[in-house]
Amino acid sequence: MKYPTPPWDEATIRRFFTEVPTQLEYSKLLGFKFIDLNSEDMWFDAQWEPDLRVCSPTGAVQGGMVTAMLDDTMSLAAVTVAGFDGVVPTLEMKTSFISPVWPGKLRCRGQVIKKGKQFFFTEGWLWDADGKLLTKSSATCFHKSHEEVKRIRKERGL
């Protein structure tokens, strides 16, 4: 797929996730798979399938790994709303662990609750294969356009 100039429309984002293999190593490790998105309603759904490599001694998925799945899905919701124009790093995040997260197929939704000029307020939920809510999260993200990212990289000699 040739990468179009941002901002991308929903069809382009959908094609990106269905036609381009995941490139990020942590996403591969945690078993990321795109499910669906809706840019108008500002949500992004993903499947995660963590295995024993990311578990604590109890056999449950380690909390930082659970948080990473939620963080990534919420960020994908925000960057989808931004039309994949740049990056949306998380500034702060709160995760509530309701039940242990066991290895296997999980479903996660990230949703933009409020979008400002540069800030996004997001929420995320992680369910097991039976639909039981395991974890929820909220975060504040800051949008930086591709042009801003290019400028910063140039200033730092990257």
Query: pTM value?
Result: 0.90
Listed by start position, the domains of the chain span: 10-155
Residue-wise pLDDT for 38-92, tens only, equals: 999 999 999 999 999 999 999 999 999 999 999 999 999 999 999 988 889 999 9
Residue 76 near residue 89, CB atoms below 8 Å? no
- Whether the bond between 50 and the residue before it is cis, its omega within 30 degrees of 0, is no
Tell me which H or E stretch contains 76. Answer: helix 63-81
Options 3.40.1190.10, 3.10.129.10, 3.40.50.1820, 2.60.120.10; CATH of 10-155: 3.10.129.10
Cβ contacts of 11 within 8 Å, gap of 6 or more: none
CA distance 61 to 72: 16
